[in-house]
Amino acid sequence: MTQYQRVLLKLSGEVFGGGRVGVDPDVVNTIARDVAEVVRSGVQVAIVTGGGNFFRGAELQQRGMDRVRADYMGMLGIVMNCLALQDFLEKLGVETRVQTAITMGQVAEPYVPRRAIRHMEKGRVVIFGAGMGMPFFSTDTVAVQRALESRCDAVFFAKSGVDGVYDADPRKHPDAKKYDRITFDEAIGKGLAVVDQTAFTLCAENKLPMVVFGMEPEGNIPRVLKGERIGTLVEAG
């Protein structure tokens, strides 16, 4: 028995690249093994990935590119990560569907929430790609929106280099305090930037629990998705 029946896992694009541009097959294979373990335990899993290992719209804009075009490029980078993760999951015998917000019928299904729910009920992992399909939306916000539409019990943000929510950036402030539990109102009021503020607000308005945890050490993904208390739980007050 686990604490959650259906969950959404948000993975950053940088994780897929192992700190470099492109996809690191060893890293993706490790993520796939962890997700497969969760699925085999009976938990229904949806995933949203970022695309920062290929393109980040805001950064390309700073270098002179039109923000709208840069964001669309980022969405296509996300789809590449989705297909890589799908491939490794299916090699492990886990049925997987990629649904994209931008129609690309040769490689993925269109985003249809009811169909995504049905896939998960059948034990398939659903990976949501191409962000929201619109510029100016972060994948943090997309993760919460997809979790709400697919009726997930909680949304999980896997972070690299930080293991929860702190009162300051622990990479800049070694004495920063980590929260085991915090309310959305507190997180928003303190301006904590571990995830996008819009994502915090969406969760708060819909009373969707959020867990922020670190990717390290290996095995944290199955531990937290099965209900083990690691990282920081963010919930309504």
pLDDT in tens, 165-221: 999 888 889 899 999 999 999 999 998 888 988 999 999 999 999 999 999 888 999
Find the mean pLDDT for residues 13-30. 90
User: Is 191 buried (19+), middle (13-18) or exposed (0-12) by CB count in 10 A?
Assistant: exposed
Neighbour tally for 40: CB within 10 Å: 13
Mean pLDDT of 214-234: 92
pLDDT for 100 equals 98
Nearest partner of 140 among 55, 200, 180, 83, judged by Cα: 200
The residue ranking higher by pLDDT, 63 or 36, is: 36
pLDDT surpassing 60 at residue 1: no
Supply the pLDDT for residue 2.
Answer: 58
The pLDDT tens digits for 73-121 are 899 999 999 999 999 999 999 999 999 999 999 999 999 999 999 999 9
pLDDT-derived band at 5, boundaries 50, 70, 90: very high
Q: What is the pLDDT of residues 43-71, one digit of tens each?
A: 999 999 998 888 777 777 888 889 999 89
**130-149 tens-digit pLDDT:** 999 999 999 999 999 999 99
At 187 the three-state DSSP class reads helix
**pLDDT value at position 97?**
98
Give me the pLDDT at residue 63, please: 83
SS3 content of the chain, % helix, strand, coil (to 5): 40, 20, 40
Residue 85 identity = L
| Tokens of residue 67, six digits | 């923000």
Whether the predicted pLDDT of 128 surpasses 70: yes
Band the pLDDT of 6: cuts 50, 70, 90: very high
